[in-house]
């Protein structure tokens, strides 16, 4: 029943829109001939006001100065991403993969040797001993030492 009512409402509104368009066209023709009645003139006036209001609302929906500036500044970013996505991917041949893979493996091996060399040259951090922690003056101070 609900679907039926919605359909009937849409049909009714469509019929009313057709009647309004037809009566507006008749009023415009009568105005052009100079034989328009007061009702037709009022209808035309109301339609013109409605059109002016719609144009005003469309102008208000235009982006402001900040939005236009942001669009201008960031407009190239969206095109760059779209251009990159539109570019066809290059075909990778088997011999190219081997060359790149060998270079990557060589680079990894070089980094590992550098890391091992750095580890051997660094001194180990001093280990905390029980004698040094008990002899430090800060450990013997109480929480109220800052009051003095």
Q: What is the pLDDT of residues 90-108, one digit of tens each?
A: 555 555 556 788 888 899 9
* Domain hosting residue 41, numbered range: 1-70
Q: Confirm whether 33 is domain-assigned.
A: yes
Q: What is the pLDDT of residues 109-148, one digit of tens each?
A: 999 988 888 877 766 666 655 444 445 555 667 777 777 6
The 10 Å Cβ neighbour count of residue 44 is 17
Sign (positive or negative) of CA dihedral 101, 104, 110, 111: negative
Q: Confirm whether 42 is domain-assigned.
A: yes
- Residue 75: the pLDDT is 80
- Residue 18: the pLDDT is 96
Q: Which residues, at least 6 apart from 36, have a Cβ–Cβ distance to it below 8 Å?
A: 27, 30, 44
**Residues 102, 103, 108: CA angle, nearest 5 degrees:** 100
Q: What is the pLDDT of residues 22-79, one digit of tens each?
A: 999 999 999 999 999 999 999 999 999 999 999 999 988 888 888 888 888 888 775 5
Q: Confirm whether 37 is domain-assigned.
A: yes
Placement of tokens 């991403």 in the chain: 81
Mean pLDDT is lowest, of 11-15, 35-39, 78-82, for 78-82
Q: Confirm whether 137 is domain-assigned.
A: no
Alpha helices in the chain (DSSP H): 2-33, 38-60, 65-86, 94-121, 130-135, 137-140
Q: Confirm whether 111 is domain-assigned.
A: no
Q: Confirm whether 60 is domain-assigned.
A: yes
Q: Confirm whether 19 is domain-assigned.
A: yes
Q: Distance (Å, rounded) from C-alpha 55 to C-alpha 61? A: 10
- Residue 119: the pLDDT is 76
Q: Confirm whether 47 is domain-assigned.
A: yes
Q: Distance (Å, rounded) from C-alpha 17 to C-alpha 20? A: 5
Q: How many domains does the chain have?
A: 1
- Residue 67: the pLDDT is 87
Q: What is the model's pTM? A: 0.41
- Residue 142: the pLDDT is 75
């Amino acid at each position: 029943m609900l679907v039926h009512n919605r359909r009937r409402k849409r049909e009714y509104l469509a019929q009313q829109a057709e009647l309004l368009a037809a009566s507006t066209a008749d009023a415009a023709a009568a105005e052009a001939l100079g034989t328009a009645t007061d009702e037709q003139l009022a209808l035309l006036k109301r339609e013109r006001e409605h059109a002016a209001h719609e144009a005003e609302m469309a102008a208000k929906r235009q982006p402001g100065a900040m939005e236009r500036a942001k669009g201008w500044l960031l407009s190239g970013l969206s095109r760059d991403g779209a251009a990159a996505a539109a570019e066809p991917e290059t075909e990778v041949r088997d011999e190219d993969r081997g060359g790149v893979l060998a270079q990557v493996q060589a680079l990894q091996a070089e980094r590992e040797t550098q890391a091992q060399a750095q580890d051997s040259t660094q001194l180990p951090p001093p280990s905390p001993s029980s004698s040094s922690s008990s002899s430090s003056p800060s450990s013997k101070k109480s929480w109220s030492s800052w009051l003095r």
